[in-house]
Amino acid sequence: MEPVPVDPAHFAKTAHHLMASKMYSLASCVMLFYDIALTMPDEVEKIWMQPRFTYMTLLWTLNRYVAPLGYMVIIASFHMDWPPETCDRYILYPEALKIVITLVIGIIFILRLYAIYGKSTVVAVVGMVLLVAELCIKIWAFTDGARLDLPEGLVGCILVGRNHLRFSFTWISELIFDTIVFLLTFHRTLRHYRFQHRSGQPGSRRPHTLIHLIMKDGVTYFAVIFAANAITASIFLWSPEPGIKPINASFSTLITSLMVSRLILNLKSAAQTASVWASGGRVSGVSQSDDDEAPYRHHHRQTYVVSDVPEDDISKEAEGGRAEGFMGDEAGDWQDLFFELVEKVE
C-alpha cells in the first residue's frame, strides 16, 4: 500500500509546532538545572551540612532531583525515532513521574499546614484526603494518555490524551489542591498577622518575620503555579493543533519543583537571620540579630524568626484555653514545629 500523501503546508505547520514544543520543554529543563546550579551553595550549607539526615532531607532530595533526572529521559524521548510499539510501552512514563513529584510536594505542603495550624490532626487528615483525591484523579486522567501521531518524517515519543477534557484533569486536580492549600495557609497567616499588629508593639511591624515570609512565599508560589497549570490545562482543552497541546506540560511540572525548593531554602535562610529563645514549651518574642551566624550557634540556641508578639500578650490570650489567631494546645507552638519540619536542629 502506498503511503498517504501529506499536504506540504500541513507538514510544515506540524513540524514547526513540534519543534516549538521540543525546544520549550528543553528550555524548561535547562531552567531547572540552572536554578540548581545557582542555589547549590545554599543547598550545601542549609541541607547537606546539617547534623542529621531525616525524612525532610529525603523529601528535599526527591523534590530537588527526581524531576530533573526524570526529565532528561523525557527530553531525550522527544527526539527518538522509536517504533510505535516501543513508544507505546514508554508513553505513560512522564505522567508516572509527575505522580511521584506530586506526592512528594503534596506531603511537604501538608506538613507545612500541619505546622502552622498548631499540630492539628484534622488539618493533616484533610490534607491527606485531598492529596489522595488529587493523585487518584491524575491516575484516572493520564491512563487515557496516548502517543502523538506524527506524519512520516517527524520523530518523537510525545504524550497527549485521547480525550482532551479527561487528560486536562491532570492539571485541573492540581489547581484545586493548590488553591485549597493556599486558602488555608493565607487564612491562618492572615489571622496571626492581624494578631501581631493588634499587640501594638513597636517591633510588630518588622517585615522579616516568619509570618511575613510564609505569606509572601505562599502568594508567590500560588500565583506562579496556578498560572502555569491553568495555561497547560487550557492549551490541552482548546488548542486546535495537536503538536502544541503538550508545549507547557514540562514547564508546569519543573517550575513546581523549582518553586518548592526555593520555599524550603527561604525558610532555611530565615533560620539564620533572627533568633528565638524557647523554654518550657513556650515561645518568647523575637530578637533580631546583627550577626547572621552567631545567634544560632551561641549556646546551641535555634535561630529563626517566629513572632513579634510578646510572651505576656500570648499568655494573656492563652488564658482560659483561648489564643486568638492560633489553633492547637499552646499559642506559638506552630512556629516551633514549623522549623522542626525544616530540620533546624539545636
Same domain, 37 and 139: yes
Question: What is the grid cell recorded at 291?
Answer: 550577626
Same domain, 295 and 235: no
Same domain, 84 and 226: yes
- Going 56 to 269 to 38 to 31, the CA torsion angle's sign is positive
- Which pLDDT tens digit goes with each residue over 307-321? 333 344 333 333 333
Q: What is the pLDDT averaged over residues 227-234?
A: 93
- E strand or H helix that includes residue 60: helix 55-77
Q: How far apart are CA 102 and CA 178, in angstroms?
A: 11
Question: What is the grid cell recorded at 344?
Answer: 533546624
Same domain, 93 and 124: yes
pLDDT of 252 strictly over 90: yes
Domain endpoint, select from 269, 296, 315:
269
Q: Quick check: is 346 in a domain? A: no
Q: Quick check: is 74 in a domain? A: yes
- E strand or H helix that includes residue 259: helix 249-270
Same domain, 191 and 74: yes
DSSP string, 125-167: HHHHHHHHHHHHHHHHHHTTEEEPP--TT-----EEESSHHHH
Same domain, 107 and 172: yes
**What pLDDT is recorded for position 298?**
36
**What pLDDT is recorded for position 130?**
97
**What pLDDT is recorded for position 343?**
46
Looking at per-residue pLDDT, the higher value among 26 and 314 belongs to 26
pLDDT of 98 strictly over 80: yes
- Residue found by looking up cell 511521584 in the block: 100
Q: How far apart are CA 143 and CA 163, in angstroms?
A: 11
Per the structure, the complete domain to which residue 318 belongs is given by: 278-341
- Which pLDDT tens digit goes with each residue over 156-200? 999 988 888 899 999 999 999 999 999 998 888 888 777 766 665
Residue 6 CA from chain centroid, whole number: 43
Looking at per-residue pLDDT, the higher value among 260 and 289 belongs to 260
DSSP string, 192-256: HHHHHHHTT-GGGG-S-SHHHHHHHHHHHHHHHHHHHHHHHHHHHHH-S-TTTTTTTHHHHHHHH
Same domain, 322 and 246: no
Looking at per-residue pLDDT, the higher value among 127 and 149 belongs to 127
Same domain, 93 and 65: yes
3-state helix, strand, coil in the chain (%, to 5): 70, 5, 30
Give me the torsion for CA of 171, 174, 179, 180, rounded to 10°: 150
Same domain, 25 and 113: yes
pLDDT level of residue 271 (50, 70, 90 thresholds): low
Domain endpoint, select from 236, 269, 302:
269
Instruction: Count structural domains, the chain.
Output: 2
Residue 276 CA from chain centroid, whole number: 27
Same domain, 317 and 212: no
Considering the chain, what percentage of its residues have pLDDT values greater than 70? 72
Beta-bridge partners for 275:
287
Same domain, 86 and 233: yes
**What pLDDT is recorded for position 191?**
80
Give me the torsion for CA of 149, 98, 260, 177, rounded to 10°: 100
Domain endpoint, select from 269, 296, 320:
269
- Residue found by looking up cell 503555579 in the block: 225
pLDDT of 287 strictly over 70: no
Per the CB < 8 A criterion, the answer to whether 21 and 148 are in contact is: no
Same domain, 253 and 289: no
